[in-house]
Structure 1
Amino acid sequence: MAETINFTKAKLDALPLPSKGLRDEYCDAKQPSLRLRVTSTGVKTFCVLKRIRDGGMNRITLARYPEMTIEQARRKTAETIGKIAEGGNPGEVRKALRSELTFRELFGEFAERHGKKKRAWAADLQRYRAYLDRPLGARRLSEITPAMVSRILSDTEQAGKANATINNIRALASTIFAKGIEWGYAETNPVSATKARKKVSRDRFFQADELPRFFAALMAEANDTVRDYFLVSLLTGARRANVLAMRWGEINFSDRVWRISHTKNGDPQNVPLGDEVMAVLGRRQSAVGAGTEFVFPGQGGSSGHLVEPKKGWKRIFDRDEISMLTIMIAETGRTFGPKCNAKTGGEVFESLEARVQRAREMAKGLGIKIDGVRIHDVRIHDLRRTLGSWQAKTGASLPIIGKSLNHKSPQATAIYARLDLDPVRASVEKATAAMLKAGGVVDFCGASTD
């Protein structure tokens, strides 16, 4: 006969193991139909033991502990008893429990029916793989609790990720569950019981003294697709996903306008293209050749275009830091250069990261303070903010800036609708000229700087 105890985590964790080949069973004091079986190898499994109408006892296995929590087991037991009481066949109930989707399976259907249609799908896929699949992927939907989701968000916060990143992860998980409810796979959304992080508005953009360094390091980028992607992002102020998926068919070369049909806020956008952007596009046409669909083609993934430029972004700031440290080391009378083989005197291959580290160590050894040498806290999205900030610096009105960046607000929408592209083009070109001048760019088409 099963021993009755009040199921708590402390008690279940401390249960003794039966002798080899035997199995013990315990009954929950709060939910008598809930049982826990313990094997001699330490496997603990929840199950429901329920008498059915013909007088016989029927056992339905739920899941192992602690993969399924005590509260989940009690809730699932009540649900199972309810279905049997309504006349449900225990065999059918057991089959339904086994066929319940896992979070990973729901995400697969979410991808096919909804996710892949989104322009930001690549970012959602990356978030799922990085933050949600490992802790939730193998779990049945009914097993996932608000506490589990909250733990994921807290761990992400502890890892130093920005509030915006945490909120994006939360929003993705919530959308997946919402679709699961809509499609009849889930009954509740555990994400709704968790709290979103406070949204902190960023105001970071490239300052005048940072632009020469940024342009110098950017123009030295060997990957011309990555380099030109960042240039177009900065000089148009368009959103990241739109620039990544930029198509030649969207560009009207005679009018010098890029027509974006689908944007984040749902409104189509006409982006005026200045001389500098046209120069980059001309360079891209020569580089990718005829017949390509995307301005920035990519080999990774199934999209056909560049998907993740973060590594290229890091290389820019690595190169700049090396340049700055090289100058500082030279001021001490020493030199920093390529790593050489002590025996042959030949240059040794060295990754950019390794070279940065070697430069830092040499500078520290010479007593050079390196704090603040690296351009700090600039993200790819800040390129968009940089254009808007320089438009403001050069006298553009807020409606003009909003129109050029395709911002949307109830107060300004009517004003934006009355603006044509001429003042927007003039503002963008004026801001572009100011940025390039501050950046020391002399011959843009030749990609050379002071």
Structure 2
Amino acid sequence: MKLHFTKKALEALPTPAPGRGRAEYQDDEIKGLVLRVTEAGEKTFSAVRWSKATQKTIRLTLGPYPDVSIEKARKRAREVNEMIAAGTDPTEEQRRKRRELTLDQLFEIYLEQWARQRKKTAREDERDYANHLAPCFGRKRLGEIRRSEISRLHSEIGKEQPRTANKILALLSTVFGRAIEWGYAEVNPVHGLKRYQEKKRDRFLQRGELPRFFEALAALPNATARDFFLMCLFTGARRNNVLAMRWEDIELDEAAWRIPETKNGTPQIVVLHSVAVELLRQRQAMPHSPWVFPSTTSQSGHFEEPKKAWAQVLKNAQLTDVRIHDLRRTLGSYQAIAGASLAVIGKSLNHKSIQATQIYARLDMDPVRDSVQRAVDNILAYAKRSEASGD
């Protein structure tokens, strides 16, 4: 069936009824350009021409619509027509493409040439890829990965974890973006897929939850994990920065911790409450290590995965929907409760925005120190109150 290929026309094409097989439509502009529609609704461009040289009909798959646009399909079909007219078999090119990289191979290149050099979250990329993308697409050639398959994976993950689903989609899009830049791929199959709308978290430990939280921490057998969680709460620093905390960056006499480089790409001075200083002095008395939270089993040499310990804390404290990052939000929330300005909170937590950073740059560290001091004092005071008090 001949049809003038336009976006409106192709999107309006009906899906063949079950048992009817596939339907094919031929473009009335470029001879041999065909669109095949399956019962599942998938649309694929092909170039179909008779070859005098081989004395057979040659069908060359050009790619799925809309990943391959009508314009690109027509351009490629013209090229195929020219090759066939010249006596060349374009299926040789297709066989070459079948020898292209798998997604596993591309991801290794991505890690070596891009992520590990430029992204602080490279290890998160590795973990997300291993958990979600490798099982589905790792062994597939790049040209075999369909947009519809990616959409199904996104939907499956999104049923329970919409934020994770969006994160996986963004990672795959970035990997394909680099592949196009480096000449390994021509299209990004992620383009056009809609992300889930994410609700910003505002969870922090409430006053009535603090006593249970501190009791659960005190009962935690893993002292390194316990001290790590306390340091996250008392400093409001990001999890990865606390994990990689070094003694050489800490001035206990000045009650300050300098983070050489944060997620924002800038250094940060973190003021230390007196209880944080005391905790650090106690850890300093332990066997020497360059890390505040050392590990004898991790490759990095410092504590890395507190997932099990955190789950135990939440279970013992009877808390739900609380993440380690919410400890950072807890400090900021109690700063606000104590009357700190948004500028002071932003500076203490190293938030970054053009307007806010201009304000933060003019602030002295004294109001930041005072704000953190009062916030942690309040946290400790609430934690000591018994549940019988009614808080």
TM-score range, shorter chain: 0.7 to 0.9
Contact 2:335 2:372 in 1 (8 A): yes
* Matched position secondary structure for 1:186: coil
When structure 1 is superposed on structure 2, of 130-139 and 384-393 the one drifting more is 130-139
Listed one character per residue, the Cα deviations across residues 304-327 of structure 1 (whole Å, up to 9, x for unaligned) are 33332221111012223xxxxxxx
Compared CA separation, residues 188 and 270, structure 1 to 2 (3 A): same
* Matched position secondary structure for 2:265: coil
Once the two structures are TM-superposed, the CA of residue 178 in structure 1 deviates from its matched residue by 1.4
Counterpart Cα distance in 1 of 2:120 and 2:241 = 8
Once the two structures are TM-superposed, the CA of residue 70 in structure 1 deviates from its matched residue by 9.7
Residue 308 (structure 1) aligns with:
305
Residue 3 (structure 2) aligns with:
none
Contact 1:234 1:386 in 2 (8 A): yes
Compared CA separation, residues 217 and 60, structure 1 to 2 (3 A): same
Counterpart Cα distance in 2 of 1:114 and 1:60 = 37
Work out whether 1:109 is the aligned partner of 2:109. yes
Alignment partner for residue 415 of structure 1, among 352, 359, 364? 359
Work out whether 1:133 is the aligned partner of 2:134. yes
Contact 1:58 1:90 in 2 (8 A): no
* Matched position secondary structure for 1:192: coil
Compared CA separation, residues 270 and 243, structure 1 to 2 (3 A): same
When structure 1 is superposed on structure 2, of 389-398 and 125-134 the one drifting more is 125-134
Counterpart Cα distance in 2 of 1:278 and 1:175 = 41
Counterpart Cα distance in 1 of 2:125 and 2:297 = 16
Contact 2:116 2:122 in 1 (8 A): yes
| Amino-acid identity (%) | 42
Residue 279 (structure 1) aligns with:
278
Once the two structures are TM-superposed, the CA of residue 283 in structure 1 deviates from its matched residue by 2.9
Listed one character per residue, the Cα deviations across residues 89-140 of structure 1 (whole Å, up to 9, x for unaligned) are 6475145212222222211111112222422223222221222222222222
Compared CA separation, residues 182 and 297, structure 1 to 2 (3 A): farther
Compared CA separation, residues 53 and 235, structure 1 to 2 (3 A): farther
Residue 264 (structure 1) aligns with:
263
Counterpart Cα distance in 2 of 1:73 and 1:414 = 45
Listed one character per residue, the Cα deviations across residues 373-431 of structure 1 (whole Å, up to 9, x for unaligned) are x3222111110000001111112111110100011223221110111222111111111
Counterpart Cα distance in 1 of 2:257 and 2:267 = 11
Work out whether 1:206 is the aligned partner of 2:150. no
When structure 1 is superposed on structure 2, of 80-89 and 271-280 the one drifting more is 80-89
Residue 252 (structure 1) aligns with:
251
- Normalising by structure 2, report the TM-score: 0.77
Counterpart Cα distance in 2 of 1:79 and 1:245 = 53
Residue 329 (structure 2) aligns with:
385
Once the two structures are TM-superposed, the CA of residue 72 in structure 1 deviates from its matched residue by 8.5
Counterpart Cα distance in 2 of 1:295 and 1:14 = 67
* Matched position secondary structure for 2:245: coil
* Matched position secondary structure for 2:285: helix
Contact 2:51 2:58 in 1 (8 A): no
Q: Would you say how many aligned residue pairs link Structure 1 and Structure 2?
A: 355
Residue 346 (structure 1) aligns with:
none
Alignment partner for residue 315 of structure 2, among 296, 315, 318? 318
* Matched position secondary structure for 1:101: coil
Residue 215 (structure 2) aligns with:
216
Residue 364 (structure 1) aligns with:
none
Contact 1:229 1:296 in 2 (8 A): yes
Compared CA separation, residues 303 and 14, structure 1 to 2 (3 A): farther
Contact 1:248 1:295 in 2 (8 A): yes
Counterpart Cα distance in 1 of 2:91 and 2:189 = 28
Compared CA separation, residues 74 and 204, structure 1 to 2 (3 A): closer
Once the two structures are TM-superposed, the CA of residue 195 in structure 1 deviates from its matched residue by 1.4
- Paired amino acid for 1:261: P
- Paired amino acid for 2:311: K
Once the two structures are TM-superposed, the CA of residue 435 in structure 1 deviates from its matched residue by 0.6
Compared CA separation, residues 410 and 70, structure 1 to 2 (3 A): closer
* Matched position secondary structure for 1:222: coil
Alignment of 1:355-374 (within 5 A): 374=318
Work out whether 1:98 is the aligned partner of 2:95. no
When structure 1 is superposed on structure 2, of 410-419 and 144-153 the one drifting more is 144-153
Listed one character per residue, the Cα deviations across residues 16-49 of structure 1 (whole Å, up to 9, x for unaligned) are xxxxxxxxxx996759799x9xxxxxxxxxx987
Counterpart Cα distance in 2 of 1:400 and 1:73 = 50
Alignment of 1:188-207 (within 5 A): 188-207=187-206
* Matched position secondary structure for 1:114: helix
Q: Gaps (5+ residues) in structure 1?
A: 1-7, 16-25, 37-46, 63-67, 321-373, 442-450
Counterpart Cα distance in 2 of 1:231 and 1:128 = 31
Listed one character per residue, the Cα deviations across residues 191-212 of structure 1 (whole Å, up to 9, x for unaligned) are 2211122231222111111111
Residue 295 (structure 1) aligns with:
292
Alignment of 1:118-129 (within 5 A): 118-129=119-130
Counterpart Cα distance in 2 of 1:416 and 1:126 = 35
- Paired amino acid for 1:399: A
Counterpart Cα distance in 2 of 1:191 and 1:407 = 30
Residue 172 (structure 1) aligns with:
171
Counterpart Cα distance in 1 of 2:332 and 2:295 = 28
When structure 1 is superposed on structure 2, of 382-391 and 168-177 the one drifting more is 168-177
Compared CA separation, residues 253 and 144, structure 1 to 2 (3 A): same
* Matched position secondary structure for 2:354: coil
Counterpart Cα distance in 1 of 2:246 and 2:297 = 17
Compared CA separation, residues 90 and 314, structure 1 to 2 (3 A): same
Once the two structures are TM-superposed, the CA of residue 179 in structure 1 deviates from its matched residue by 1.3
Counterpart Cα distance in 2 of 1:134 and 1:437 = 48
Once the two structures are TM-superposed, the CA of residue 144 in structure 1 deviates from its matched residue by 2.5
